[in-house]
């Protein structure tokens, strides 16, 4: 029999990707298409769900032809997705009733303020592990039902369905037969009780969302259905894995033991720590979320978010025109031996964990007549590591678990200077894997486990391949002095409000 593969679909905020993996977890084919961003009003972000489906369809075909394999050689499909983004569609026509409302969108700010005024914050936090914030899906659905003509009535009659992007893609791939999501995605909706593992009637009541719209919540690794012949090259392939992208990356990094953590350095940074069976409540602004559910067992994670990370490099490139390409940041940073006391606080949209201050803005401290472009770039790069240390420190505090080193992925981890500085700052090892596409790999693993392509998590953990370990080299005293400077800079930036 010819060799078989697993296809991972990674539907992200800026693009749709499909990647074909072999049994060694190596990439044999890949394709990517950008998706259009709609900004109907300041702070609003929307996507066209039909375009999302078309790009996904397109990259599936392209990835197979790039891999030079036949659709019959795909044993199973795994899906991973930008989380929280909400789609509502007509169950009879499969047409979305409106653009998808993206996780970044602030259009439900007023709804959130009202819910807080009514004193619901603690109830939501206790049951869902989340904060009342426009980030999560629940208030986005409420907004759609209120603003799209006829939507509320259709919802009451059971004619429309809600889904995060994973649900929407499964619905399309199965030709409108299967309406499901997995634990990890459900745990980002603000409607799912992460203790009882059920949609929460009380919260649905508060949000006024009919339960009939909601997908069935299934495990992250099982066969949910098969592709419809008309949607997938005339054949029926099992769709066998689903996870939100940050949880999928945790899985792809084989962070299977309590205390293991990964940090993804993309546009922002998302750090997740596996807390096993334990549902840890944060006292320092972390979210409690479901990592995955497999074989009847759900595992939890603590999550911290940094809003501006790699995008600070894009700012140096596009805004300040200090760089031709973001990768040049490393060359400039290593031309000087330190940032010479300069601190850049890239709070362009406020700051997330652990500060949660949406009104603060960016700031630069410590400039002298001797400050050069090299110092400035180095200080901006260092801000990614400082922010990540802020998150990791509160994770250690909240979880009570010792940090067993940090596994890293995402676009900016190719920057060796940044990785070394991160390790210096944490006083811990930073591990970079061979395969950087850990999100897609995680989805592939989840699907592959369900169909027996991989035997178990142990096989996956054994297959995790280290590319390079960065070990702390900076004297402790120097590290503490630098980090104390960062804390002062953040404090001063917070104090400055016009
Ligand atoms: N060598 C580098 N040094 C620093 N930042 C980098 C480097 N290469 C890419 N980046 C940053 O990484 C980000 C892209 O990473 P990626 O994981 O593709 O992000 P996303 O999935 O959020 O789109 C960009 O913001 C870019 O500025
Ligand atoms: O699409 P990404 O990679 O920016 O990830 C988005 C996150 O899932 C949002 O919570």
For ligand 2, what atom is nearest to the CA of residue 13?
A: 1
328 HSE (CA, 13 A, CB side): 10
Strand boundaries in 207-268, DSSP class E: 216-218, 221-226, 238-244, 261-265
Q: Is 83 in the pocket of ligand 2 (CB under 6 A)?
A: yes
What is the arithmetic mean of pLDDT over 104-117? 91
pLDDT at 1 over 60: no
354 C-alpha to center of ligand 2: Å? 19
State pLDDT tens for residues 144-174: 999 999 999 999 999 999 999 999 999 999 9
**H helical segments located in 72-196:** 109-117, 121-128, 137-147, 151-156, 165-173, 183-186
Terminal Cα distance for the chain, rounded:
68
Q: Which two tokens stand for residue 260?
A: 């293991």
349 C-alpha to center of ligand 1: Å? 18
Domains and CATH numbers, the chain: 5-236 (3.30.420.40), 254-497 (3.30.420.40)
Q: Is 267 in the pocket of ligand 2 (CB under 6 A)?
A: yes
Residue among 302, 270, 248 at smallest CA distance from 449: 248
pLDDT at 346 over 90: yes
Residue 329: which H helix or E strand, with range?
Answer: helix 328-333
**pLDDT at res. 349:** 80
CB 403 within 8 A of CB 396: yes
CB 410 within 8 A of CB 248: no
pLDDT at 19 over 80: yes
State pLDDT tens for residues 402-431: 777 899 999 899 999 999 999 999 999 999
For ligand 2, what atom is nearest to the CA of residue 188?
A: 10
Residue among 62, 82, 81 at smallest CA distance from 20: 62
For ligand 2, what atom is nearest to the CA of residue 12?
A: 1
Residue among 414, 463, 411, 436 at smallest CA distance from 22: 463
Which region, left, alpha or beta, applies to residue 173 given φ > 0 means left and ψ of -120 to 50 means alpha? alpha
CA angle 165, 169, 171 (to 5 degrees): 115
281 C-alpha to center of ligand 1: Å? 31
Q: Is 245 in the pocket of ligand 2 (CB under 6 A)?
A: yes
Q: How far is CA 106 from CA 41, 180, 183, 362, in A?
A: 10, 26, 25, 20
Q: Which two tokens stand for residue 118?
A: 């009514």
**pLDDT at res. 498:** 78
- Asked if this assembly's ipTM is beyond 0.90, the reply is yes
CA dist 43 and 112 (Å) reads 15
Burial class for 50, CB neighbours closer than 10 Å (0-12, 13-18, 19+): middle
pLDDT at 121 over 80: yes
**pLDDT at res. 262:** 96
Q: How far is CA 338 from CA 369, 372, 381, 424, 475, in A?
A: 16, 11, 12, 13, 14
Confidence band of 105 (pLDDT split at 50, 70, 90): confident
CA angle 85, 390, 488 (to 5 degrees): 125
Q: Is 266 in the pocket of ligand 1 (CB under 6 A)?
A: yes
When the pLDDT of each residue in the chain is averaged and rounded to a whole number, the result is: 94
State pLDDT tens for residues 254-285: 999 998 999 999 888 999 999 999 899 999 99
Per the annotation, does 17 bind a ligand? Answer: yes
Residue among 84, 265, 97 at smallest CA distance from 186: 84
Q: Is 12 in the pocket of ligand 2 (CB under 6 A)?
A: yes
Confidence band of 356 (pLDDT split at 50, 70, 90): confident
Ligand nearest to the CA of 10: 2
Per the annotation, does 84 bind a ligand? Answer: yes
Give the dihedral of Cα atoms 68, 72, 74, 79; nearest 10 deg. 110
Q: Is 289 in the pocket of ligand 2 (CB under 6 A)?
A: no
């Amino acid at each position: 029999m010819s060799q078989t593969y697993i296809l991972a679909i990674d539907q992200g905020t800026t693009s749709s990707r499909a990647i074909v993996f072999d049994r060694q977890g190596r990439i044999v084919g890949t394709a990517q298409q950008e998706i259009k961003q709609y900004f109907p009003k300041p702070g609003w972000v929307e996507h066209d769900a039909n375009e999302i489906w078309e790009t996904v369809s397109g990259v599936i075909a392209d990835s197979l032809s790039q891999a030079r394999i036949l659709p019959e050689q795909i044993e199973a499909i795994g899906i991973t997705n930008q989380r929280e983004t909400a789609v509502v569609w007509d169950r009879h026509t499969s047409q979305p009733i409106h653009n998808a409302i993206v996780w970044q969108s602030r259009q439900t700010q007023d709804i959130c303020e009202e819910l807080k005024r009514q004193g619901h914050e603690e109830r939501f936090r206790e049951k869902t592990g989340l904060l009342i914030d426009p980030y999560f899906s629940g208030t986005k659905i409420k907004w759609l039902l209120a603003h799209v003509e006829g939507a509320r009535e259709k919802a009451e009659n059971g004619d429309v369905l809600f889904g995060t992007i994973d649900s929407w893609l499964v619905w399309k791939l199965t030709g409108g037969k299967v309406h499901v999501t997995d634990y990890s995605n459900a745990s980002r909706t603000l409607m799912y009780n992460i203790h009882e593992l059920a949609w929460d009637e009380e919260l649905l009541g508060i949000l006024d969302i009919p339960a009939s719209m909601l997908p069935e919540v299934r495990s992250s690794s099982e066969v949910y259905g098969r592709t419809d012949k008309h949607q997938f090259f005339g054949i029926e392939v099992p769709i066998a894995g689903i996870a939100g992208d940050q949880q999928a990356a945790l899985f792809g990094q084989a962070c299977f033991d309590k205390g293991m953590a990964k940090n993804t350095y993309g546009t922002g940074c998302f750090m997740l720590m596996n807390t096993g069976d334990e549902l840890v409540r944060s006292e320092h602004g972390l979210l409690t979320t479901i990592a995955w559910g497999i074989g009847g067992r759900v595992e939890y994670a603590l999550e911290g978010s940094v809003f501006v990370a790699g995008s600070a490099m894009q700012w140096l490139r596009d805004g300040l025109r200090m760089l031709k390409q973001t990768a040049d940041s490393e060359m400039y940073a290593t031309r000087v031996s330190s940032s010479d006391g300069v601190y850049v606080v890239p709070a362009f949209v406020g700051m997330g964990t652990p500060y949660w201050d949406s009104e603060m803005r960016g700031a630069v401290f410590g400039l002298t007549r001797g400050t050069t472009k090299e110092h400035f770039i180095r200080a901006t790069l260092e801000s990614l590591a400082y922010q990540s240390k802020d998150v990791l420190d509160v994770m250690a505090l909240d979880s009570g678990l010792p940090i067993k080193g940090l596994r890293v992925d995402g676009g900016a981890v190719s920057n060796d200077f940044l990785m070394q500085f991160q390790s210096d700052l944490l006083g811990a090892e930073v591990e970079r894997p061979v395969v950087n596409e850990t999100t897609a790999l995680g989805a592939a693993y989840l699907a592959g486990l369900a169909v027996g392509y991989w035997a178990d998590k142990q096989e996956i953990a054994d297959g995790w391949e280290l590319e390079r370990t960065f070990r702390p080299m900076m004297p402790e005293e120097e590290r503490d002095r630098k980090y104390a400077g960062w804390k002062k800079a953040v404090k001063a930036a917070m104090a400055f409000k016009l």
